[in-house]
Chain A
Amino acid sequence: MPVDETLATYSDWLYRSALGVYLFAILLYAVEQAFARAPRKAEALVGAGAPVLVDAEPKRDVSKPERVGRMGAALTVLGALLHLASLVMRGLSAGRAPWGNMYEYMSLLCLAAVVTWIVLMAKFPIRRLGAFVLTPILVLLFLGGTVLYAESAPVQPALRSYWLVIHVSVISISSGVLLIPGVTSILYLLKDSKSDRFPKLPSADVLDRMSYRTTVLAFPLFTAGIICGAIWAEAAWGRFWGWDPKETVAFVSWVVYAAYLHARATAGWRGRGAAWINVVGFALNVFNLFFINLVTTGLHSYAGL
């Protein structure tokens, strides 16, 4: 099928606009983080199973930095919409699911991360962390749009399968969701020290809960993604598991996230130990994304540039 160049161009414009909007949102979040007061105790406990029968946060005047933060949140939603539109246009222009090369994969991954962040913002009083979360996403999007950029085009014979739609999207979305606990776990490690050097970060408890809940959401998804990949590999490569570098690293990060879930239920590993494991999982995901796709040669490398 020929590529619709007009739609492909619109997609690229939307992608750049989304990046710009995210950048602006980061600036607004940063303003809030810098100028708002440290969260009060009660505020930090909301959503953390507070042992009280109180209504949600008492109404009070919204300070200026908070207003700026809200604008940041609104811009994040706008950016996500532009981002989504860019992916849809990509798909329409090439006449296939828009995750057939690394640029598109990265774009979907980041969209999943942003959407997760928006949902979390609605559930936890953590809006001002936006800058910390959106910055790595923006870096990934920037790399995706420059170094990894690929023209809209049809894909190779091996990728012509409905499993491309299922396997790649599930893996990409779960990796995107897993980006969030990676960041919140790093923040947890910063926050959870004896001296409260970072009074403006939410409480360690909230950060820990956020990490856990997002990981718990993404882990079954990631598992399903790997299994879908195995089913596809059985049809495309003649075996469901062959220790291809990508498969190996996916297996390793699966084991690491499994370790995270176990660590959280083990005395002595709860808290900092678990957070470190989550950070390792995050690092492995990044490694799998860049090093394995671009440096090593395996069956998955054709999904690269």
Chain B
Amino acid sequence: MIAFLRNTWRGLTSMRTALTLLFLLALAAMPGALLPQLSLNAAKVDEYVAQHGWWGRFLLKLGFFEVYATPWFAAIYLLLFTSLVGCLLPRTWEYFKQMRAKPVLTPRNLSRMPHHAQAVLDVTPEVAVGRAKKALRGWRMDAGDDTVSAERGYLRETGNLVFHFALLGLLVSFALGKMFSYEGQVIVQANGGQFCNGGIFNYDSFRPGLRVDGTDLTPFCVEIGKFSAEYLENGQPVGYQADIRYQSGDDLAANTWRPYTLQVNHPLRTGGDRLYLLGHGYTPTFTVTFPNGEKRTQGIQWLPSDQRTLASEGATKFDPPGVTDSEQRRKNQIAVTGLLAPTPLLHGNILNSKFPALNNPMVAVDVYRGDLGVDDGRGQSIFSIDMKMVEQGRLQKVARKNLALGEEIALDDGTKVRFDSVSDWVSLQVSHDPTQGYVLAFAILIILGLGVSLTVKRRRVWVRATPRDDGRTLVEVGGLARTDQAGYGEEFTRLARAVLNEEKS
């Protein structure tokens, strides 16, 4: 039993196994790049599964659409992790032993070394050894009467261990980060709209880490003042910025607002959280005048359907005012849907957008009246109406028209819909990751360790001086690079010349 465990451990920690695991890891990570992933684009996953029948369902079952969360991916990296630990522990032990050890004794036959040179000199062995010691200054040395053994490049192993331990540290920090991090997205109107990081329900979408229940989010509030975008003539965006005010920490109690300019690449970092400007779009405002003379004004974000021109689609929904009978109300709900063109381009009556900035924006709207189906308990998209209601005839299209700013459309029952104005909205992301600082620190150690371990070479030199019968001395130099011979040749040649005093020759 013990033998079995020992053999398993040995097998697991061998380099061969580590190599195999590295390959498996590389292979297992690939589907994440080739197949759509739930964490990145859930809609695409649904589409893929729907298109590929049993094959799609098979892949779904095996977790190929969330590769990095599957047990088989975890199994590989945990095994690799164990293998790494098992490899590092004895190496560290060995490392500390070697730090105190003397360089190995001079081998009997130096001519067998990969690097070798010799000469017969007119000096005594002591002088030759003294000269060798001088030439080997900076090396760790062990000198006898007629021989010197020297070694250098211990930093290589130091760098190697630093690299591997930093890798472990990075993986652990990364895993902890996945536990305690969260990420939430929200759309806020850029006309004084506010957002507070008070709870999950303030977000449009929220992705918590495994140990986050949303009860203790870092409290802070932001208010989005003005959004501005800059475009090139061809419509390519050059820069976005939102002028915001925020309060966090003590400022919340004191109700102090601090200004900040939120830009792409320049998130707001406050109280351990980061706030990002992810995107923007337009909010058309419509006023509906009901037959009884009451008015309702509403602005809700529409979704850009073309990122290049920011042509946007959406649905602005109205309840008839003052109707208490829910039956009655559901017959007279109104939805204004259609397309918003920031810079209109008309082909006859067909409206499109030709530029992403606002220049006399127009909307092409379909007005629906009837039961929107918002009361039946199911959630529905704020960007569209429930087409089932239309199919069932409970919601009817009652008008269609292109509207410029200030223009209105009259329905058969005297209701009027006016297109008032367009404002900006911004989509924000709040990210919280308490361990990313550690990840960065370990990443820097990784680079340092890697750099050192791949540039420094561990190498040995031995010198032996043997007196000859004729009173001269045979001096032999042998060299061995312990890891890789590459590049040692030049250094050895230089050293051997110094030891053998051959500069003049």
A interface, CB within 8 angstroms of B: 47-51, 53, 153-154, 156-158, 160-161, 163, 209, 212-213, 216, 219-220, 223-224, 227, 230-232, 234-246, 248-249, 251-252, 255-256, 258-259, 261-266, 268-269, 292, 296, 298
Query: What is the minimal beta-carbon distance from B480 to any residue of chain A, in angstroms?
Result: 11
**Residue from B39, B114, B265, B276 whose CB has the most chain A CB atoms within 10 Å:** B265
- Please indicate the chain B residues that have their CB under 8 angstroms from the CB of A256 in the complex: 22, 26
Is B154 positioned at the interface, with any CB of A under 8 Å from its CB? Answer: no
Is B57 positioned at the interface, with any CB of A under 8 Å from its CB? Answer: no
Is B199 positioned at the interface, with any CB of A under 8 Å from its CB? Answer: no
Query: Is the CB–CB distance between B489 and A258 below 8 Å?
Result: no
Query: Is the CB–CB distance between A238 and B26 below 8 Å?
Result: no
Query: Is the CB–CB distance between B115 and A212 below 8 Å?
Result: no
Q: How far is the CA of A163 from the CA of B487 in the complex (A)?
A: 34
Across the interface, A239 reaches (CB within 8 A) one of B33, B433, B492, namely B433
Query: Is the CB–CB distance between B40 and A248 below 8 Å?
Result: no
Query: What is the minimal beta-carbon distance from B84 to any residue of chain A, in angstroms?
Result: 11
A interface SS class: helix
Beta-carbon nearest neighbor of B16 in chain A: A266
Across the interface, A213 reaches (CB within 8 A) one of B18, B266, B487, namely B487
Q: How far is the CA of A191 from the CA of B451 in the complex (A)?
A: 31
**Residue from A209, A219, A234, A268 whose CB has the most chain B CB atoms within 10 Å:** A234
- Please indicate the chain B residues that have their CB under 8 angstroms from the CB of A156 in the complex: 236-237
Chain B stretch 157-192: residues in CB contact (< 8 A) with chain A: 174, 183
Query: Is the CB–CB distance between A262 and B266 below 8 Å?
Result: no
Contact A252 B29, CB 8 Å, known A53-B496, A154-B236, A238-B431 = yes
Beta-carbon nearest neighbor of A259 in chain B: B22
Is B47 positioned at the interface, with any CB of A under 8 Å from its CB? Answer: no
Contact A268 B16, CB 8 Å, known A243-B68, A248-B33, A259-B26 = yes
The 8 A CB mask of B473-505 against A (1 = contact, 0 = none) is 000000001011111110011001100001000
Across the interface, A243 reaches (CB within 8 A) one of B37, B264, B265, namely B37
Query: Is the CB–CB distance between A50 and B19 below 8 Å?
Result: no
Across the interface, A296 reaches (CB within 8 A) one of B33, B439, B451, namely B33
Q: How far is the CA of A231 from the CA of B440 in the complex (A)?
A: 8
Is B278 positioned at the interface, with any CB of A under 8 Å from its CB? Answer: yes
Query: What is the minimal beta-carbon distance from A291 to any residue of chain B, in angstroms?
Result: 9
Chain B stretch 197-246: residues in CB contact (< 8 A) with chain A: 232, 236-240
Query: What is the minimal beta-carbon distance from A197 to any residue of chain B, in angstroms?
Result: 26
Beta-carbon nearest neighbor of B237 in chain A: A157
Query: What is the minimal beta-carbon distance from B474 to any residue of chain A, in angstroms?
Result: 15
Query: Is the CB–CB distance between B174 and A224 below 8 Å?
Result: no
The 8 A CB mask of B67-80 against A (1 = contact, 0 = none) is 11000000000000
Q: How far is the CA of A298 from the CA of B37 in the complex (A)?
A: 11
Is B410 positioned at the interface, with any CB of A under 8 Å from its CB? Answer: no
Is B454 positioned at the interface, with any CB of A under 8 Å from its CB? Answer: yes
- Please indicate the chain B residues that have their CB under 8 angstroms from the CB of A157 in the complex: 237-240, 263-265
Query: Is the CB–CB distance between B239 and A220 below 8 Å?
Result: no
Query: Is the CB–CB distance between B116 and A235 below 8 Å?
Result: no
Is B299 positioned at the interface, with any CB of A under 8 Å from its CB? Answer: no
- Please indicate the chain B residues that have their CB under 8 angstroms from the CB of A236 in the complex: 264-265
Query: Is the CB–CB distance between A161 and B265 below 8 Å?
Result: yes
**Residue from A153, A223, A264 whose CB has the most chain B CB atoms within 10 Å:** A223
- Please indicate the chain A residues that have their CB under 8 angstroms from the CB of B276 in the complex: 237-238
Chain B stretch 414-443: residues in CB contact (< 8 A) with chain A: 429, 431, 433, 436, 439-440, 443
Beta-carbon nearest neighbor of A222 in chain B: B450
Query: What is the minimal beta-carbon distance from B106 to any residue of chain A, in angstroms?
Result: 18
Query: What is the minimal beta-carbon distance from B183 to any residue of chain A, in angstroms?
Result: 7
